[in-house]
Structure 1
Amino acid sequence: MKDRLSEIIGDGRAAFALLRKEDQQALIDEKGSRRRAERSAWGRLTDEQRRGLILQAGHVPELCGDAAPVAPARGPVRVFETQAFYPKGEDEYELKPAGYKGRKTMQLADAIDIMAHEAARKRGKLVLTAEQVAIGREYAGLYERYHAGGVRCASLEVSGARSAGGRGGDVTEARLAERDRLLALQRRIGDGVAMPIRRVRPSKRGADRRAISDRQLVDGVFIEGLTVTELLNKHGWAKSSTVTKAAFAGLAAALERMLGQRALRPGRTTYFGVRPQSPFERA
Structure 2
Amino acid sequence: MKDFYDDIMAGRARGTLADEARRIAEVRARGFLSGDCGPVPDAPARAAFTLSETRAMYPDGRDGWESKPAGYRGRKTLAHMDPLDVVEALARKRLFTPTQKAMARHYRSLTQDYANKGVRCSSVERSGGGGDGTSFIEAVLRQAQELDRLHARIGRGVVLAVKRRGAGRRPIVARELVDDICLRDRSPSDVLRANGWSCKGDHRGQVLVALRDILDRMTGPQGGRRATFCRF
TM-score, normalising length from structure 1? 0.55
Mapped to 1, the partners of 2:151 and 2:71 lie a distance apart of 36
Match of 1:211 among 166, 171, 177: 171
Task: Kindly indicate whether the alpha-carbon contact (under 8 Å) linking 2:33 and 2:41 is maintained by their aligned counterparts in 1.
Answer: yes
Alignment of 1:1-283 (within 5 A): 54-66=27-39, 68-79=40-51, 103-120=75-92, 125-150=93-118, 167-194=132-159, 197-198=160-161, 202=164, 207-265=167-225
RMSD (Å), alpha carbons: 3.5
Structure whose alpha-carbon radius of gyration is higher: 1
Count of aligned residue pairs for this structure pair: 186
In the alignment, structure 1 segments of 5+ residues that lack a partner are: 1-45, 83-96, 152-161, 267-283
Pair 1:147–1:241, CA change in 2 (3 A): same
Pair 1:148–1:104, CA change in 2 (3 A): farther
Task: Kindly indicate whether the alpha-carbon contact (under 8 Å) linking 1:111 and 1:226 is maintained by their aligned counterparts in 2.
Answer: yes
After TM superposition, give the deviation of residue 111 of structure 1 in Å.
2.2
After TM superposition, give the deviation of residue 260 of structure 1 in Å.
0.6
After TM superposition, give the deviation of residue 108 of structure 1 in Å.
3.9
Aligned to 2:103, what secondary structure does the other structure show? helix
Amino acid corresponding to residue 152 of structure 2 in structure 1: R
Which stretches of structure 1, 4 residues or longer, exceed 4 Å deviation after superposition? 46-54, 97-105, 200-203
Superposed CA deviations along residues 180-213 of structure 1, whole A, max 9, x for unmatched, are: 111111100011212xx22x8659xx92211111
After TM superposition, give the deviation of residue 226 of structure 1 in Å.
0.4
Mapped to 1, the partners of 2:72 and 2:51 lie a distance apart of 14
